[in-house]
A and B are shown apart, each in its own frame.
Chain A
């Protein structure tokens, strides 16, 4: 695994934020490597374990606990639609379907294996996630790191247009 020097410098700086226990940097490092590589590979897990002098299973324990840490690449643009009560009342189940329809994603391919739903060209991936904490403006979604409130079905095509 190739960690660029600049990234490793950032990593070393982050580790310094936890002077009592390097292990604290596990999740921050997972974020950094995921941002760089797009997802967390076995090599990334082993690299972090070695860097922080812990067992790889300690890192795997975290990777599989936190839904935002991925073990496979997402689409070029990753969509998160909020599933939880207030957004659901505001129509987020329908919004998810609308996104899938326009992004050419087969919603019914959803399985329990935790695999991301993706468009065949890998352009979009979508996830139905728990509360994004903007319940007053539901339904809400995130595309990559961008946040959108009160999204109507009609707005979906133009929204996807922005992410080419």
Chain B
């Protein structure tokens, strides 16, 4: 155990507070409820102190002749104020420090900086994507003036620059805070951005032929306090104030970056990172961030389908579930295989596990999904819930190990029915011929694929942004997904589809709400004992000892 961090006394706007040693002045002020406006300061980056928006008055205890602080009538140190305003973003608090965040001088400083930032800034808020979440707009309300006394011509700078494949730059809007440059250098370790020219003509650029194409480039858009850097994908698509924001997690790899999904009605417009120091700090990769457009696809499966006389016909849910149960009833347990997905939630995997047990089949697995990882956030495991699949017993310690055996048995005619849950079997080692060899093929999915096309029954499920549930990331952190939009048409939440199927197969009632599914998991899986969906919270819950994932114990039949 390290020594506890000592608390220091700091006077902010006349009131004494205590903060741990090492607290930045700007953070101490915020904690005391005195938010200090800032542009260049970002808690995860170095502090250049260039915007000068966070100027405050600062002082230190006045020392008496005995070299001890002079005390006032209140028994507290008398502050000797530094005549010049100081930036609050680059200094830590000190014992007895005095801070004024709301003095006439401080207000004058903020007004001055705001005026300077606005004189050369274009008045294009009506068409600027940042409008509504622009710090310049925001602080203008508090520290700006209605009129302008700037009679001169504004500085002209480059506009509509493709800084990289995903980021568009408007240099006239840039306030030169250097956050993007520092992010690329300090976090993304790809020092491709820089300032060129000088003085009032300075502007941001990338070197020709060396674009901002890092897989983390869009974080620069997030931290740009103004509309200088915009996402080429999101640009001009939707005013941000129309977006409904839903806290969720990214499901494109096993890191599980915390996110906010921005959607309006049934359309997702963007995904942005949500701060979580235990997972992703303030960042996420471009690959994960932009991996949502398929959710909005017009090709989405919107109704169950049943194969009749060789062709897939649209169906209601009832007949589709009944048909599936009937078909499955015709096979011996070891003639059936369940191929589930590491992209499924714990709740879905739990019910898949129940299905496996109800069917009594020993043939089940998930489809591994490997890519190239990096040192920052992107995990080589592109399945977001491999640990969940293991913990819940759908996959063993080596996910995908059973797939080859299953394919071999299909080819040998030993496995005749396959349930493909959110996976295309062609990605699991099957060939089109293998699919044709099957007597029965169920495809639960959200988009058409060869498995769907070859299926006997197609059940339309929900995408990650359309459902609630939980997943466990590569580090054993249990995190929640939330529903940002409704699934299209007649598509259903996967856990409900699986429940229906289980009910049909077993003839007993299943859980009514997803909380109950989780309760079943928590009652069975020791690592998750005592937890509930609400207890996981927005920032997740770190499970203990999950690296060594044991096989899930067989549940009591009464649980269903």
Direct contact of A and B (CB under 8 A): yes
Q: Which A residues are closer than 8 A to B by beta carbons?
A: 42, 45, 54-58, 60-61, 63-65
User: Are A64 and B191 touching (Cβ within 8 A)?
Assistant: no
Closest to A67 in B: B198
Write out the residue numbers on chain A whose beta carbons fall within 8 Å of the beta carbon of B205.
57, 60
Q: Which B residues are closer than 8 A to A by beta carbons?
A: 191-198, 205-208, 210
Write out the residue numbers on chain A whose beta carbons fall within 8 Å of the beta carbon of B191.
54-55, 57-58
Write out the residue numbers on chain B whose beta carbons fall within 8 Å of the beta carbon of A45.
207
Closest to A64 in B: B196
User: Are B195 and A56 touching (Cβ within 8 A)?
Assistant: no
User: Are B210 and A61 touching (Cβ within 8 A)?
Assistant: no
Closest to B185 in A: A55
Q: How far is the CA of A42 from the CA of B210 in the complex (A)?
A: 12
User: Are A61 and B195 touching (Cβ within 8 A)?
Assistant: yes
User: Are A60 and B192 touching (Cβ within 8 A)?
Assistant: no
Q: How far is the CB of B50 from chain A (nearest CB, A)?
A: 15
User: Are A64 and B207 touching (Cβ within 8 A)?
Assistant: no
Number of A-B contacts (CB under 8 A): 34
User: Are A58 and B194 touching (Cβ within 8 A)?
Assistant: yes
Write out the residue numbers on chain A whose beta carbons fall within 8 Å of the beta carbon of B208.
42
Closest to B195 in A: A61
Closest to B193 in A: A57
Write out the residue numbers on chain A whose beta carbons fall within 8 Å of the beta carbon of B192.
55, 57
Q: How far is the CA of A42 from the CA of B191 in the complex (A)?
A: 18
Q: How far is the CB of A139 from chain B (nearest CB, A)?
A: 24
Q: How far is the CB of B214 from chain A (nearest CB, A)?
A: 12
Q: How far is the CB of B172 from chain A (nearest CB, A)?
A: 15
**Nearest 4 Cβ contacts at the A-B interface:** A64-B196, A57-B207, A57-B194, A56-B207
Q: How far is the CA of A54 from the CA of B192 in the complex (A)?
A: 10
Write out the residue numbers on chain B whose beta carbons fall within 8 Å of the beta carbon of A65.
196-198
> Can you show 27 pairs from A to B with CB atoms below 8 A apart?
A45-B207, A54-B191, A55-B191, A55-B192, A55-B207, A55-B210, A56-B207, A57-B191, A57-B192, A57-B193, A57-B194, A57-B206, A57-B210, A58-B191, A60-B194, A60-B196, A60-B205, A60-B207, A61-B194, A61-B195, A61-B196, A63-B196, A64-B196, A64-B197, A65-B196, A65-B197, A65-B198
Closest to A114 in B: B197
Q: How far is the CB of A69 from chain B (nearest CB, A)?
A: 12
Closest to A66 in B: B198
Contact of A56 among B197, B198, B210 (CB under 8 A): B210
Q: How far is the CB of A85 from chain B (nearest CB, A)?
A: 18
Q: Quick one: which of A55, A57, A65 has the most chain B CB within 10 A? A: A57
Q: How far is the CB of B395 from chain A (nearest CB, A)?
A: 43
Write out the residue numbers on chain A whose beta carbons fall within 8 Å of the beta carbon of B196.
60-61, 63-65
Known contacts A55-B191, A56-B207, A60-B205; 12 further A-B pairs (Cβ under 8 A): A45-B207, A55-B192, A55-B194, A55-B207, A56-B210, A57-B206, A57-B210, A58-B194, A60-B194, A61-B194, A64-B197, A65-B198
Closest to A61 in B: B194
Q: How far is the CB of B555 from chain A (nearest CB, A)?
A: 57
Q: How far is the CA of A45 from the CA of B205 in the complex (A)?
A: 15
Q: How far is the CA of A57 from the CA of B208 in the complex (A)?
A: 9
Q: How far is the CA of A155 from the CA of B198 in the complex (A)?
A: 35
Q: How far is the CA of A58 from the CA of B194 in the complex (A)?
A: 7
Q: How far is the CB of A38 from chain B (nearest CB, A)?
A: 21
Write out the residue numbers on chain B whose beta carbons fall within 8 Å of the beta carbon of A57.
191-194, 205-207, 210
Q: How far is the CA of A55 from the CA of B206 in the complex (A)?
A: 10
Write out the residue numbers on chain A whose beta carbons fall within 8 Å of the beta carbon of B197.
64-65
Q: How far is the CA of A54 from the CA of B197 in the complex (A)?
A: 19
Closest to B201 in A: A112
Write out the residue numbers on chain B whose beta carbons fall within 8 Å of the beta carbon of A54.
191
User: Are B210 and A64 touching (Cβ within 8 A)?
Assistant: no
Q: How far is the CA of A63 from the CA of B195 in the complex (A)?
A: 11
Write out the residue numbers on chain A whose beta carbons fall within 8 Å of the beta carbon of B194.
55, 57-58, 60-61
Q: How far is the CA of A54 from the CA of B193 in the complex (A)?
A: 12
Q: How far is the CB of A47 from chain B (nearest CB, A)?
A: 13
Q: How far is the CA of A61 from the CA of B203 in the complex (A)?
A: 10
User: Are A64 and B193 touching (Cβ within 8 A)?
Assistant: no
Q: How far is the CA of A54 from the CA of B191 in the complex (A)?
A: 9
Q: Quick one: which of B191, B194, B206, B208 has the most chain A CB within 10 A? A: B194
Q: How far is the CB of B389 from chain A (nearest CB, A)?
A: 42
Q: How far is the CA of A56 from the CA of B194 in the complex (A)?
A: 10
Q: How far is the CB of A66 from chain B (nearest CB, A)?
A: 9
Q: Quick one: which of B191, B193, B205, B207 has the most chain A CB within 10 A? A: B207
Q: How far is the CA of A60 from the CA of B193 in the complex (A)?
A: 10
Q: How far is the CA of A45 from the CA of B194 in the complex (A)?
A: 14
Write out the residue numbers on chain A whose beta carbons fall within 8 Å of the beta carbon of B210.
55-57
Q: How far is the CB of B199 from chain A (nearest CB, A)?
A: 9
Closest to B190 in A: A55
Q: Quick one: which of A54, A60, A63 has the most chain B CB within 10 A? A: A60
Q: How far is the CB of A22 from chain B (nearest CB, A)?
A: 15
Q: How far is the CA of A64 from the CA of B195 in the complex (A)?
A: 9
Write out the residue numbers on chain B whose beta carbons fall within 8 Å of the beta carbon of A55.
191-192, 194, 207, 210
Q: How far is the CA of A64 from the CA of B194 in the complex (A)?
A: 11
Q: How far is the CA of A2 from the CA of B446 in the complex (A)?
A: 58
User: Are A64 and B206 touching (Cβ within 8 A)?
Assistant: no
Write out the residue numbers on chain A whose beta carbons fall within 8 Å of the beta carbon of B193.
57
Write out the residue numbers on chain A whose beta carbons fall within 8 Å of the beta carbon of B198.
64-65
Q: How far is the CB of A40 from chain B (nearest CB, A)?
A: 13
Q: How far is the CB of B151 from chain A (nearest CB, A)?
A: 19
Q: How far is the CB of A43 from chain B (nearest CB, A)?
A: 12
Q: How far is the CA of A39 from the CA of B198 in the complex (A)?
A: 19
Q: How far is the CB of B117 from chain A (nearest CB, A)?
A: 22
Q: Quick one: which of A54, A64, A65 has the most chain B CB within 10 A? A: A64
Q: How far is the CB of A65 from chain B (nearest CB, A)?
A: 5
